[in-house]
């Protein structure tokens, strides 16, 4: 952990590089793809909608990484929460399904958190193990079968619906980021997360219950992953064990590019949103450019590398 003083409320260059990068990429696509539909309202709305689950998970990940921990199990939690919710909704009203899905996430977070905070195992290994364990549970739960979700209210709230003309996935993004940002910046919990990530011993000495805090961030992260799972199930009108499988690295990339340090002590929720949108915009723009899949992967990799290099160079002192 670094010994950097806890003075991050001011402007840290690492935290605005992402905005510059985002605008540059946006401008580049806007010029190159001006005739390819990139700037249409529909396409831009699509990008925000498509990144909603990643953004929600990124919010949880900001807290986890800031506190100096990591949660590798989020991808598996996505599938479990979606499957649990879908199975419960077969026979019960949709709010019960939602509660069951979120409850599954909370339970997983509690187990992860307890092993980290009280059994004192490293979060990397605990969540690596639960990632594998839960991937197996997801496969076993429904015997590899997809589970349809037919409740129209549920799919409207968590998927394709809209309120006052604003798509529900965009509302989830806005609410999630607003709440996440507020908690991170304005509450004692947020301050304690920062303090713990910056220097756990000092935080403990200052009277912060570091163990409970570690438990808290892992529960939070797991529950954001569960919410992401509910969003996927709403969007696809069904759940499947492969949901979220490839999301972990996208979430981590979005959060790091956004200006949160992998080793703790610094973070930003709004930056994570921008990082997530950047990932979605890259996927979208590179497809619209008509690149082959291999070319898309190479270009995306290079751009992410450049973005991370910029962010981390600024962050290192």
- Residue ranges in contact with other proteins by CB under 8 A: 36-38, 40, 42-43, 46, 50, 53, 144-148, 232, 235-240, 242-243, 245-246, 280, 283-284, 287-288, 290-294, 296-297
Residue 309 tokens, joined: 């290099």
Pick the closer one to other proteins by CB: 57 or 203: 57
Residue 312 tokens, joined: 């981390």
**Cβ atoms 154, 89 nearer than 8 A:** yes
Pick the closer one to other proteins by CB: 2 or 46: 46
Supply angle C-alpha 200, 73, 128, rounded to 5.
Answer: 75
As measured in angstroms, the least distance from the Cβ of 122 to other proteins is 27
Pick the closer one to other proteins by CB: 146 or 209: 146
Pick the closer one to other proteins by CB: 15 or 49: 49
DSSP character for 161? -
- Say whether 239 sits in a helix, a strand or coil: strand
As measured in angstroms, the least distance from the Cβ of 46 to other proteins is 5
Start-end of H helices in 206-245: 210-236
CA distance 97 to 113: 24
CA distance 132 to 122: 16
As measured in angstroms, the least distance from the Cβ of 143 to other proteins is 9
Start-end of H helices in 156-261: 168-186, 188-198, 200-205, 210-236, 247-257
Pick the closer one to other proteins by CB: 119 or 293: 293
As measured in angstroms, the least distance from the Cβ of 93 to other proteins is 22
**Cβ atoms 108, 44 nearer than 8 A:** no
Supply angle C-alpha 216, 223, 304, rounded to 5.
Answer: 95
**Cβ atoms 256, 306 nearer than 8 A:** no
As measured in angstroms, the least distance from the Cβ of 240 to other proteins is 5
Pick the closer one to other proteins by CB: 47 or 219: 47
As measured in angstroms, the least distance from the Cβ of 50 to other proteins is 4
Pick the closer one to other proteins by CB: 214 or 235: 235
As measured in angstroms, the least distance from the Cβ of 98 to other proteins is 18
What is the dihedral sign for C-alpha 79, 85, 88, 89?
A: negative
Which residues are paired to 163 by β-bridges?
Answer: 166
């Amino acid at each position: 952990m670094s010994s950097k003083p806890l003075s991050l409320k001011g402007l840290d260059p690492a935290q605005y590089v992402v905005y510059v990068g985002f605008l540059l990429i946006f401008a580049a696509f806007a010029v190159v793809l001006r005739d390819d539909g990139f700037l249409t309202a529909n396409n831009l709305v699509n990008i925000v909608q498509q990144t909603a689950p990643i953004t929600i998970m990124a919010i949880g990940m900001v807290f986890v990484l800031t506190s100096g921990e990591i949660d590798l199990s989020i991808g598996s939690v996505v599938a479990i929460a979606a499957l649990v919710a879908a199975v419960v909704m077969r026979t019960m009203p949709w709010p019960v399904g939602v509660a069951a899905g979120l409850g599954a996430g909370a339970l997983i977070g509690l187990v992860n958190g307890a092993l980290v905070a009280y059994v004192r195992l490293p979060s990397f290994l605990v969540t690596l193990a639960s990632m594998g364990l839960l991937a197996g549970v997801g496969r076993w739960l429904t015997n590899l079968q997809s589970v349809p979700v037919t409740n129209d209210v549920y799919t409207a709230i968590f998927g394709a619906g809209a309120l006052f003309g604003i798509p529900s996935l965009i509302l989830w993004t806005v609410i999630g980021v607003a709440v996440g940002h507020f908690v991170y910046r304005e509450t004692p919990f947020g301050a304690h997360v920062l303090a713990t990530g910056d220097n756990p011993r000092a935080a403990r000495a200052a009277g912060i219950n570091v163990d409970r805090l570690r438990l808290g961030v892992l529960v939070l992260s797991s529950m954001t992953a569960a919410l992401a799972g509910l969003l996927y199930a709403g969007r696809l009108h069904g759940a499947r064990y492969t949901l979220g499988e490839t999301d972990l690295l996208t979430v981590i990339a979005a959060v790091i590019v956004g200006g949160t340090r992998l080793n703790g002590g610094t973070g930003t929720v709004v930056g994570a949103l921008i990082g997530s949108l950047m990932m979605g915009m890259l996927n979208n723009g590179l497809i619209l450019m008509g690149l082959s899949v291999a070319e898309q992967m190479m270009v995306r990799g290079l751009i992410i590398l450049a973005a991370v290099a910029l962010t981390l160079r600024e962050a290192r002192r």
